[in-house]
Structure 1
Amino acid sequence: MSETATRRSAAPGQAEHFDVVIVGAGISGIGGAYHLTHQCPDRRFVVLEAQESFGGTWLTHRYPGIRSDSDLYTFGYRFKPWTGTPIATAEEIRRYMGEVIEENDLGRHIRYGHRIERADWSEAAKRWTLEAVRTDIGEPVRLTAGFLWMCQGYYRHAAGYLPEWPGMARFRGRLVHAQTWPEDLDYTGQRVVVIGSGATAATVVPAMAARAAHVTMLQRSPTYFRTGRNAIEIADELRTLGVDESWIHEIVRRKILHEQALFAERTFREPEKVRDELLANARAHLGPGVDVDTHFTPRYRPWQQRLAFIPDADLFVAIREGRASVVTDEIEEFTESGIQLRSGASLEADIVVAATGFDLSVMGDIAFSLDGEPLDFARTVTYRGTMFTGVPNLAWVFGYLRASWTLRADLVGDFVCRLLNHMRDTGARAVVPALRPGDEGMALLPWITAENFNPGYLARGMHLLPRQGDRREWQHTQDYWREKDEFAAIRMDDPVFAYR
């Protein structure tokens, strides 16, 4: 596994130029580097990563039990077979990404500890100028790029979302956020309250319950959970038969995608039936001692928010065995010894863990401008959720909300490489998506409607995101099965692309 970063920079006052700059060395950025290497081998590119190593989410999050909540057959890249258990630990995912870097000699393209602060497009020069900072020494760095490929994700890595509750300063125990987990936190024999009920809480609670005196999951409202074995029977059987891993990867990948698509479609077509199935499963695992109606019956339709997967039902097992419990209530205030609830009850705690989500970060909180004029992405319209009207030579990877992020990262990778090769072949130096005459005046909608998907981080930050239209070219549809064909069929000479 290679973590060697190229550190060469231009002389002071000069800007080093690249054909492409990839922002972020997470799952999308490493995938983008692979696609450039194999589909655009003549391009000079660099990957700029603000953190000290690759991994993105899987480096940022270090809380107990950190794991994927998507299977790695679909969260893994299409070009590299996954051979482990479908739900993987952060360490296993980073090892897999490290192999991609090593096997494709990508390490020489990656520069760690480079935080981009500003990006300005020059129409005259047809390039982006990036102002960055070397975080290890505080040294400013300037680079220019013909094309900017944003693979930095969609949330702020420096700190998670933490509501302000009355009395937090009075609490004599330790209050931590799951996203910034302290290395010195020893919770052995401690009373722990975990605030939240999403995928992070569902991971933290059973992991901490193995050593803590007791863990209480405090939620304002319930979440839907799916359970299953952390194994794929057909994959294990095919390995027993000696089938090539690349075949296994593709077969299992297609099987999972088919089943996920059917399930997601059912949540729209027959939401009450799916709801009843999920609750029946919860009751079966939790046993008669847990009030499922109160603690595990959400107010929203299945898949209107992230539906967390708990492998081997470990969260339910911890609750059933009494090592953990769940309380559905709202926080009135923090006290010296714990949390006072709106109902009048109180929770005593030595440690409080906020698994309260994250803050949306549009384009990495970089200050973008066009010829010196500030760029507000909320005033643009998205082209297929990856480019934006009026913004030249820029693509963004924003993955799927009901399927694995990497599925879309691979599709966008193919699209960007085709676009770059078309520009090379035609001599174009800039491309910007533009509404066609027939698109003028179409209805503009939020990036995603609340009826479709409405988690807190999107509700808090929707005003920062680009708009979408009422036609498929101007939408991020969340539909992998249609997009995999639509992306492949995009014509590079479509009038939507204004070349110059």
Structure 2
Amino acid sequence: MVPLSTKLPQLPALPNLRKRAAASARRRLPRLPLISKQPKLDVLIIGAGLSGIDMASHIKRDKVLSKSIKKGRVAIVEKRAAIGGTWDLFKYPGIRSDSDMTTFGFAHRPWLGNKTLADADSIKRYIEQTAQDESITSLISFNTNVVRLDWSSKHQYWTVTLADVNSGKQRKVTTRFVVGATGYYDYDQGYQPQFEGEKDFKGLIVHPQQWDEQIDYQDKRVVVIGSGATAVTLVPALVKPLIDPSSSQSHAKQQAAAHVTMLQRTPTYIGSVPSEDNSVQTLSSRFKLKPQTAYRLVRGRNILLQQGVYQLSRIAPDTLKKGLITRAKKELGASKDKLKHFTPDYQPWDERLCAVPDGDLFKAVRSGHADVVTDRIDHFTAEGIQLASGHHLPADIIITATGLKLQMLGGAQVYLDGQLEEVSKKMTYKAVMVEDVPNIAVLYGYTNASWTLKIDLACGYITRLLRHMHHYGYQMVTPKPTATDGEQAHIQPDTIMGSLTAGYIRRAQHVLPKQGDRYPWFVTNNYFSDVIMLKYRRVEDKWLHFKR
């Protein structure tokens, strides 16, 4: 046989042969578009917070899926008037991240600030700048609430009912795939338990979620009810000028309460972390590394530390408990009377461990400008709170940092072929999709590490899934509890948020999808396991049912 490289007279005809061969190959393995011409959109992302922007960024950076953006077939809807999600909503004093920013930030975009736990304004600017630089902002429809999602098996797409937040006017849009990036709580209201005698209190009662920046707490007696991340952030912030005089000089208008009391039912584990981390800058300058490379190294280090602490809490909880309490004792000046308020009767990570920068909460308590009381509320009085122990806490302002009200998909109802779907009775597949609900992914992060570590992995997985569907011409994908080989997964009591005993999670049993009794229907809460599952395992498995 004459090799093709030999110069032959009929060589000009070869390109036609190649075209015919390529056409034949396409007929054998049809590469149909992911989206038929029926729905208006390929992908609708609900939410323009950190999760929604990350999802859009993944699509934007994918060579195949980015074509949908260019064609105007990817959109984001956001209920609020601005980008940022949580970081646009909360305005209470001291609002900040409770995870280090190298693991909380985007994997592809270095966080170059030196604050370990960044303030809300800095995080919001970081998200906004990412959206602007990657041309994502133009995809967003603001002041747009998702009311209802209707799936049609006949047409294989979603009809999404949207409402203008200001006018209430509704419209509908069709999309093949939906990504819920709404977080896990109700933005309109936090969890507000009813206390006896609330109407008798003469002062101000406010939930952190409804904090107004015009609230005057200067020289006021403040009681903060709660001991979670919000409470431990609020307490030192309310008296910061008193314990850190330099802060009042740099922020001339910063207020200072006369005294703050954190009222808790049970203690919380508190871990102190350095307020600043210059590791990225140090690596960049000393070893001439690019910021992205230095960021990845520091991010990797911090992921190892996070995962190591959590695994220690599972393997040797008493060791971790001893370390945390010993550190708290040192921070408090060895006062046994104060230490009891930082000594829980449960093991670390049975509830979320709270981080404080440079031990600011301990400093506030040590200074005498703040204190912690462990007791139960009997009732409110005109002048404060009467405790079950008989003690009375005087107050001018009561801040109810009593937790969040959880919900899914921003409260939107989900219908499958006209039937309301009870998502709380379904299992989560890989903590990304929902049993028997086609073409929808819901982004949930970690509760035992930086929330966004899991978000980024999930966004990467969804991108792989959409690309896989595009390649093989699939229009529909549904996680099924019965595998193709007959294996059956069974629902378990724990929700997608895991087995933490926090009240806001227990209250969400009727809202959130549950876990299953086997892989991939349970939540691992292990970053390295999730990397393998979401980044490297094949997209197609015996639980996913695809359809053209």
Cα distance, 1:223 vs structure 2: 0.3
Cα distance, 1:362 vs structure 2: 2.0
Provide the rounded CA distance (Å) in 2 between the counterparts of 1:158 and 1:439: 44
On the 8 A contact 1:116/1:131 being kept in 2, the answer is yes
Paired residue secondary structure (2:45): strand
1:260 maps to which of 281, 306, 316: 306
1:294 equivalenced with 2:340 (yes/no): yes
1:200 equivalenced with 2:230 (yes/no): yes
Cα distance, 1:420 vs structure 2: 1.1
Provide the rounded CA distance (Å) in 2 between the counterparts of 1:374 and 1:193: 43
Cα distance, 1:443 vs structure 2: 4.0
Cα distance, 1:425 vs structure 2: 1.7
Correspondence for 1:41: 66
Paired residue secondary structure (2:146): strand
Moved more, 433-442 or 95-104: 433-442
Counterpart AA for 2:521: W
Cα distance, 1:184 vs structure 2: 1.9
Provide the rounded CA distance (Å) in 2 between the counterparts of 1:495 and 1:19: 25
Provide the rounded CA distance (Å) in 2 between the counterparts of 1:451 and 1:103: 35
Cα distance, 1:237 vs structure 2: 2.6
1:184 maps to which of 214, 231, 245: 214
1:134 equivalenced with 2:164 (yes/no): yes
1:279 equivalenced with 2:279 (yes/no): no
1:77 equivalenced with 2:77 (yes/no): no
Correspondence for 1:243: 289
Structure 2 stretches lacking a partner, 5+ long = 1-37, 241-255
2:510 maps to which of 450, 463, 466: 463
CA gap of 1:290–1:451, structure 2 versus 1, over 3 A, is farther
Deviations 1:94-148 (CA, angstroms, capped at 9, x unpaired) = 1110111111011110111001111110111111111111112222121111100
CA RMSD of aligned residues (A): 1.7
Counterpart AA for 1:115: N
Correspondence for 1:93: 123
Provide the rounded CA distance (Å) in 2 between the counterparts of 1:147 and 1:490: 22
Cα distance, 1:286 vs structure 2: 0.8
Paired residue secondary structure (2:538): coil
On the 8 A contact 2:496/2:514 being kept in 1, the answer is no
Structure 1 stretches lacking a partner, 5+ long = 1-14
Provide the rounded CA distance (Å) in 2 between the counterparts of 1:284 and 1:115: 49
Paired residue secondary structure (2:492): coil
Cα distance, 1:437 vs structure 2: 5.0
Paired residue secondary structure (1:193): strand
Counterpart AA for 1:56: G
| Structure with bigger gyration radius | 2
Correspondence for 1:234: 279
Paired residue secondary structure (1:463): coil
Provide the rounded CA distance (Å) in 1 between the counterparts of 2:388 and 2:173: 53
Cα distance, 1:442 vs structure 2: 4.0
Deviations 1:358-414 (CA, angstroms, capped at 9, x unpaired) = 011122211110011000112222111111121010001111111111111111111
Cα distance, 1:26 vs structure 2: 0.8
Moved more, 168-177 or 234-243: 234-243
1:21 equivalenced with 2:44 (yes/no): yes
Deviations 1:197-221 (CA, angstroms, capped at 9, x unpaired) = 1111111000111301000111111
Deviations 1:165-211 (CA, angstroms, capped at 9, x unpaired) = 10011110000001110232010000000001111111100011130
Cα distance, 1:444 vs structure 2: 2.5
Counterpart AA for 2:67: D
CA gap of 1:389–1:452, structure 2 versus 1, over 3 A, is closer
1:332 equivalenced with 2:361 (yes/no): no
Structure-1-length-normalised TM-score = 0.94
On the 8 A contact 1:282/1:292 being kept in 2, the answer is no
Deviations 1:64-108 (CA, angstroms, capped at 9, x unpaired) = 010000011000011000111221000000111011111101111
Cα distance, 1:421 vs structure 2: 1.5
On the 8 A contact 2:45/2:76 being kept in 1, the answer is yes
% identical aligned pairs: 38
On the 8 A contact 2:489/2:521 being kept in 1, the answer is no
Paired residue secondary structure (1:148): strand
Provide the rounded CA distance (Å) in 1 between the counterparts of 2:267 and 2:540: 48
On the 8 A contact 1:48/1:115 being kept in 2, the answer is yes
Provide the rounded CA distance (Å) in 1 between the counterparts of 2:107 and 2:50: 12
Cα distance, 1:27 vs structure 2: 0.9
Correspondence for 1:8: none
Cα distance, 1:469 vs structure 2: 1.8
1:218 equivalenced with 2:263 (yes/no): yes
Provide the rounded CA distance (Å) in 2 between the counterparts of 1:485 and 1:451: 20
1:112 maps to which of 128, 131, 142: 142
Correspondence for 1:152: 182
Provide the rounded CA distance (Å) in 2 between the counterparts of 1:299 and 1:128: 48
Paired residue secondary structure (2:378): strand
Paired residue secondary structure (1:120): strand
Moved more, 217-226 or 429-438: 429-438
Moved more, 395-404 or 226-235: 226-235
Correspondence for 1:482: 529
Provide the rounded CA distance (Å) in 1 between the counterparts of 2:486 and 2:374: 47
Correspondence for 2:197: 167
Provide the rounded CA distance (Å) in 2 between the counterparts of 1:181 and 1:170: 21
Moved more, 332-341 or 437-446: 437-446
Moved more, 285-294 or 68-77: 285-294
On the 8 A contact 1:447/1:465 being kept in 2, the answer is no
Counterpart AA for 2:520: E
Cα distance, 1:326 vs structure 2: 0.7
Moved more, 59-68 or 402-411: 402-411
Paired residue secondary structure (1:21): strand
Provide the rounded CA distance (Å) in 2 between the counterparts of 1:165 and 1:138: 34
Paired residue secondary structure (1:432): strand
Correspondence for 1:372: 418
Counterpart AA for 1:466: P
Provide the rounded CA distance (Å) in 2 between the counterparts of 1:29 and 1:235: 26
